[in-house]
Structure 1
């Protein structure tokens, strides 16, 4: 599979790290990286990462290319991707965060690539796909959204619970690490609370997962609400889901059903250990359910808690979905 990465930020760099250092990258050739930042800055930020640590191998650059582990990856710095030749590319991983209109989302296609996978919600996508929730709807779509990191964590869990006992209603709170959409110190933003320093306070806000879950699992539309609490940690977030189910369940049967569902899933994980967020850094699952934090109240209300590395896990799903797209 031949890929191009457009946008070499947090997700683009995590994707390349996984391609180069994990089995998820087997059989993948990165044909090109495009980013508006200078080549030396791109190489530096790839080699030295404040979250995941230094890249464990030498990184070199020059002649419009990044050189690492025997690979020479062409780099360009075009604001408009249509100016780049991508005729050999199966899937463009669109990681700029700006592909919200069709003219931007289609630039990879115009440049010659077969398909485009957008690393976030986008109204310009033909379909929004979350592995473990609705991948059967992928078919041959050319422009696909990989949803959000929180939707990737929530949707497979919601689908599993709905299969176990049916969901009457639910509310999800994501306890989410800060991102570059927040200022480090107080500075004006459209949202008053999110104008406050992200590394200094817990900040209540919204989450795109609230409406994306309706799109990904339309039969549950209107039954699941959500909110976010941004917290001053650099990586790994959590989903805290309260669910009222249609069918009465007992706790031992519920735990067994959840663990069985996880065992059969390609994207869910489970832990019985009393972990904290830093223990989950660089985990590739969309969500790791915390057994000790999961419980039943009565026979119809459950609380399910799980961890997700919102950068590394999401980047893993980008590669997994790209494989599905390249094969169709």
Structure 2
């Protein structure tokens, strides 16, 4: 019979765990701000986390991988990384601890050396200036993330924000206020000040110019010391190759990334799935597709690659957006004129068709529709799939768990272990697809499956945009995750 530890023993253990966690927090901060080395724990960001948050992430990690990953394990790994004098890198210390346990090796320091020893051969990135063209929901989240993850500035540097209309002191103050506070995502963990003389926002002590322009070709970015910039268009107003190419006529602009589905010849990319089909040296205009397409495509690719999909239907239960009316009023589209916070609204989505641009094998196999519901953020896609290979709920979940843990889609798929998951729980999740393992349904015959995929249609999508932006800008660091 296992004896329960006394209260004093439990308290002593908790104190020691927190002491080690505080030591880990300092290492995380030092590595990030001094060496631009970002430590993660099974894709969870660790920068600016407190001790309780990190210990909770460790509890999730142990349950997820079914291995005895402890704070002492990850602290030992972080210490070794600190000693190694690595180039800028992104390293998942949870994954390192997991693989260490899998291999059965006994010397953790030697193991870390072997796994990260070739990092110096994958260095050589040049910082990229970034301009946000449009400053709405996605634009502000991108600004938050870009400024929070600047580090030593060796990757992407937010240099300017472009908006329409006159830039008065009142306008700048309002822009700053909306960046500081968000009704869905809370307070920005940083400082935002206004410099009206320079017509700029000072974010975390760094100047970000606010530029007024009536069209994409109007700004002269070189006047602000900006060169070869990646323009991230968040307006959705310019979606064809011709329209987006207008950005390239502006002085100082180099590449364009649209945060909406592109039309015609514009490459629609789901980062993690098909970005390598488009060489940044040969293309100048890109699209990050839609939030729904980014949520369902990674999961559909996994199912199609492993079991095969005959055909299927995608139904999205989507948070309402700014495109809908707050109260009943005229709208160019049917049903969207009704009050968004009071109604479930059936509407169309092109996500099912858009998937085939990233996974051509699924062309013509999927139908899709959407229901907008009265929540401000947090959405759910229900994938009803007829499979080529019969399976079971247990086997299908095992497949998804494997791909969430290893392979090319670990940044895109989060495997949820909770049977209490609801939409507010996924707000702020980095991955664009949260696979709800407890909700999976497989027919008795094994050839039909219902999969439930949650997604933060703002935050998760913004991280996909940034992943693609880093690929386009060629500032991807050495990574182990």
* Unaligned stretches of 5+ residues in structure 1: none
Q: Aligned to 1:30, which of 158, 161, 168?
A: 158
Deviation per CA, 1:195-223, whole angstroms, max 9, x where unpaired? 11111011011112132122222221110
* Unaligned stretches of 5+ residues in structure 2: 1-127, 166-170, 476-481
**Secondary structure of 2:398's match?**
helix
CA distance in 1, matches of 2:368, 2:183: 30
How much has 1:68 moved relative to structure 2? 1.6
**Secondary structure of 1:114's match?**
strand
Instruction: Report how many aligned residue pairs link the two structures.
Output: 328
Give the corresponding residue for 1:131.
271
Q: Contact conserved, 1:19 with 1:26, CA < 8 A, in 2?
A: no
CA distance in 1, matches of 2:448, 2:440: 11
CA distance in 2, matches of 1:230, 1:32: 33
Larger Rg: 2
**Secondary structure of 1:200's match?**
coil
TM-score norm. by structure 1 comes to 0.95
Give the corresponding residue for 1:318.
465
Deviation per CA, 1:208-249, whole angstroms, max 9, x where unpaired? 213212222222111011110100001111111111110111
Give the corresponding residue for 1:202.
344
CA distance in 2, matches of 1:238, 1:96: 24
Return the structure number with greater helix share: 2
Q: Contact conserved, 2:288 with 2:465, CA < 8 A, in 1?
A: yes
Distance 1:272 1:11, change over 3 A: same
Q: Contact conserved, 1:236 with 1:278, CA < 8 A, in 2?
A: yes
**Secondary structure of 2:256's match?**
strand
Does residue 303 of the first structure (1) align with residue 440 of the second (2)?
no
Give the corresponding residue for 2:79.
none
How much has 1:316 moved relative to structure 2? 0.7
Q: Contact conserved, 1:131 with 1:156, CA < 8 A, in 2?
A: no
Q: Contact conserved, 1:125 with 1:144, CA < 8 A, in 2?
A: no
How much has 1:81 moved relative to structure 2? 2.7
Q: Contact conserved, 2:296 with 2:453, CA < 8 A, in 1?
A: no
Q: Aligned to 2:415, which of 270, 290, 301?
A: 270
Structure number with greater CO (CA < 8 Å, separation at least 6) is 1
Superposed CA RMSD in Å reads 1.8
Deviation per CA, 1:169-209, whole angstroms, max 9, x where unpaired? 11111110000000011111122211111110110111121
Deviation per CA, 1:239-289, whole angstroms, max 9, x where unpaired? 111111101113322211111011122211111112111111111101110
**Secondary structure of 1:303's match?**
strand
Q: Contact conserved, 1:86 with 1:108, CA < 8 A, in 2?
A: no
Q: Aligned to 1:285, which of 426, 431, 442?
A: 431
How much has 1:327 moved relative to structure 2? 1.5
CA distance in 2, matches of 1:55, 1:254: 39
Q: Show the 5 A alignment for 1:101-180.
A: 101-111=240-250, 112-123=252-263, 126-140=266-280, 141-180=283-322
Give the corresponding residue for 1:8.
135
How much has 1:125 moved relative to structure 2? 5.2
TM-score norm. by structure 2 comes to 0.65
How much has 1:20 moved relative to structure 2? 2.1
Give the corresponding residue for 2:50.
none
